[in-house]
């Protein structure tokens, strides 16, 4: 065999071993830096095998299962909370799968599934878990229904349903007492997949102070007029991927708030609802920190907002390195909005001199129709203007083709490339 042939075989084998990685196109100007998100995801994808639930060996290894029925759950309309707690304690101590059988509906009062657990503990829900319908059962803690607390190397899967039985809550809705239907608190190396969340009391599923999270193939549904029923809420969580999910609720489809970093959202269908939001940030003069957020390949239908960043006056901190890519708007009110004068209270907010700094925000390849005349609204702070805002190939036309769309832009410095319609006034740019 000739040396050249031998060299070609060696190079080909190396290529097949190491594979390749395709990065998303980046918007680049002299002022716009390459985001560290790409370095993070390249590293993290290579390290997925460190998550116990993702290795081939673990998938192939026999895994013991514990049915809630074996601990006395009846699914007959009576309270099954105690049986679930006993089954969880056993599964957690053994690193086993707790199984919620299919074609059965179990009623639960507020419950916390606490860790730490043995590695590879799982919660496999094939049937339905439904919230207890009497509100007095929630008096000790009206803020939570189901909590998974401090569980690592953990997955929740199975194709079943969490039903928050929310109608009684919606009739007595109060934003100061937000009820979180399913909460993951301080869970590391977590996978939540192939589940339905329905009619939550308020927020459907919350990730709070978690690290390394993969969320995929969720269906989250509530009526469009159900109050405060965010679909997926991300708070103080680092390294989370949300993908291939359908969300339609009465509030934000996805909300990302302070303390969150390295958030990647891909292939989401949203509507009805309030769109995909970062914030609100800076309420009650608080500090906000959000960075490295990518929303890629989303379709929004009939929502009251599209992609939104909302901050209160008086806050401080930052939201930066944010990308909205490849998004389709269909009959969306306020398709693109930055609102630094957000004021969600009955008493008018007083103008303040401090604000959350917004910078390095990219809008790329966003197209579709606006239900409102104002398709793009950059309402930035006078004291802390938005800076390094990049717009590339954004076209938002009026729904139905009649009338027109406009952009209102205040206290913002932006750069545009490619097509941009409707444009801000040159005097405001």
pLDDT for 349 equals 82
pLDDT for 1 equals 53
Comparing CA positions, the residue from 352, 347, 342, 353 lying closest to residue 309 is 342
Catalytic residue among 157, 199, 251, 252: 251
DSSP 108-176: E-SEEEE----TT-EEEE-SEEEE-S-GGGGTT-TTEEEEEES--SEEEESS-EEE--THHHHTT--GG
Lookup result for tokens 């390459």:
34
Could you read off the pLDDT of 369-396 as tens digits, one per residue?
999 999 999 999 999 999 999 999 999 9
How many other β-carbons are positioned within 10 Å of the β-carbon of residue 101? Answer: 16
Residues with Cβ within 8 Å of residue 364, at least 6 apart in sequence: 25, 27, 323, 324, 325, 326, 390, 391, 392, 393, 394
Could you read off the pLDDT of 10-42 as tens digits, one per residue?
444 443 332 322 233 333 333 333 334 444 343
Residues with Cβ within 8 Å of residue 429, at least 6 apart in sequence: 409, 413, 414
pLDDT for 173 equals 64
Residues with Cβ within 8 Å of residue 172, at least 6 apart in sequence: 135
**Contact call for residues 94 and 118 (beta carbons, < 8 A):** yes
Could you read off the pLDDT of 161-217 as tens digits, one per residue?
999 999 988 987 665 456 789 999 999 999 999 999 999 999 999 999 999 999 999
pLDDT for 390 equals 97
| 141 catalytically annotated | no
Q: What percent of the chain has pLDDT over 70?
A: 83
Residues with Cβ within 8 Å of residue 84, at least 6 apart in sequence: 68, 71, 73, 106, 108, 111
pTM of the full predicted structure? 0.86
pLDDT for 268 equals 98
Question: Above 70 in pLDDT, residue 326?
Answer: yes
Confidence bin at 71 (pLDDT 50/70/90): very high
**Contact call for residues 350 and 321 (beta carbons, < 8 A):** no
pLDDT for 140 equals 79
Question: Above 90 in pLDDT, residue 263?
Answer: yes
Residues with Cβ within 8 Å of residue 194, at least 6 apart in sequence: 157, 158, 159, 216, 217, 218
- Average pLDDT, rounded, for the chain: 86
Catalytic residue among 199, 233, 274, 339: 274
Question: Above 90 in pLDDT, residue 309?
Answer: yes
pLDDT for 128 equals 98
Q: What percent of the chain has pLDDT over 90?
A: 73
Long-range contacts (CB closer than 8 Å, 24 or more residues apart) made by 32-41: 32/360, 32/362, 32/388, 32/390, 32/415, 33/360, 35/292, 35/321, 35/323, 35/360, 36/292, 36/321, 37/262, 37/264, 37/292, 37/294, 37/321, 37/323, 40/239, 40/262, 40/292, 41/264
User: Rounded distance, CA 402 to CA 411, Å?
Assistant: 30
For residue 269, give Cα distances in angstroms to 221, 258, 284, 363, 368: 12, 24, 32, 18, 14
How many other β-carbons are positioned within 10 Å of the β-carbon of residue 47? Answer: 11
Query: Which one is predicted more confidently, 99 or 314?
Result: 99
Question: Above 50 in pLDDT, residue 368?
Answer: yes
Confidence bin at 343 (pLDDT 50/70/90): confident
Question: Above 90 in pLDDT, residue 53?
Answer: no
Burial class of 149 by CB neighbour count within 10 A (0 to 12, 13 to 18, 19+):
middle
Q: Mean pLDDT over residues 311-320, rounded?
A: 93
Question: Above 90 in pLDDT, residue 332?
Answer: yes
| 274 catalytically annotated | yes
pLDDT for 428 equals 44
pLDDT for 51 equals 38
């Amino acid at each position: 065999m000739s040396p050249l042939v031998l060299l070609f075989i060696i190079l080909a084998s190396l290529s097949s071993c190491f594979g390749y990685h395709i990065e998303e196109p980046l918007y680049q100007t002299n002022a716009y830096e390459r985001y560290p998100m790409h370095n993070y995801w390249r590293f993290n994808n290579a390290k997925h095998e460190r998550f116990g639930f993702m290795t081939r060996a673990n998938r192939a290894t026999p895994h013991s299962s514990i049915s809630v029925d074996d601990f006395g759950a009846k699914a007959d309309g009576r309270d099954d909370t105690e049986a679930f707690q006993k089954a969880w304690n056993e599964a957690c101590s053994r690193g086993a799968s707790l199984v919620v059988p299919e074609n059965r509906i179990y009623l639960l009062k507020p419950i916390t599934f606490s860790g730490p657990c043995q590695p590879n503990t799982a919660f496999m829900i094939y049937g339905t878990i439904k919230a207890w319908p009497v509100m007095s059962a929630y008096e000790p803690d009206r803020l939570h229904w189901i909590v998974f607390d401090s569980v690592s190397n953990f997955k929740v899967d199975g194709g079943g349903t969490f039903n928050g039985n929310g109608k009684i809550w919606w009739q007595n809705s109060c934003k100061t007492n937000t009820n979180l239907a399913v909460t993951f608190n301080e869970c590391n190396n977590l996978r939540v997949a192939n589940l339905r969340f329905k009619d939550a009391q308020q927020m459907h599923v919350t990730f709070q102070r978690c690290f390394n999270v993969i969320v995929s193939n969720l269906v989250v549904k509530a009526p469009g007029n159900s109050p405060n029923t965010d679909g997926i809420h991300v708070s103080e969580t680092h390294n989370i991927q949300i993908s291939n999910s359908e969300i339609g609720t009465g509030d934000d489809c996805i909300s990302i708030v302070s303390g969150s970093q390295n958030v990647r959202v891909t292939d989401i269908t949203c509507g009805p609802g309030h769109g995909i939001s970062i914030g609100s940030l800076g309420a009650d003069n608080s500090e906000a920190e959000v960075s490295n957020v990518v929303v890629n390949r989303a379709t929004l239908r009939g929502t009251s907002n599209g992609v939104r960043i909302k901050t209160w006056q008086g806050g401080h901190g930052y939201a930066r390195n944010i990308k909205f890519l490849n998004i389709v708007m269909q009959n969306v009110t306020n398709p693109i909005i930055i609102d630094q004068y957000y004021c969600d209270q009955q008493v008018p907010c007083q103008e303040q001199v401090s604000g959350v700094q917004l910078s390095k925000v990219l809008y790329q390849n966003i197209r579709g129709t606006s239900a409102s005349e104002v398709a793009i609204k950059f309402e930035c702070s006078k004291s802390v203007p938005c800076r390094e805002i990049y717009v590339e190939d954004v076209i938002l036309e009026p729904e139905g083709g009649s009338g027109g769309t406009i952009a209102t832009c205040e206290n913002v410095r932006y750069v545009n490339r490619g097509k941009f319609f409707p444009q801000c006034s040159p005097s405001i740019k």
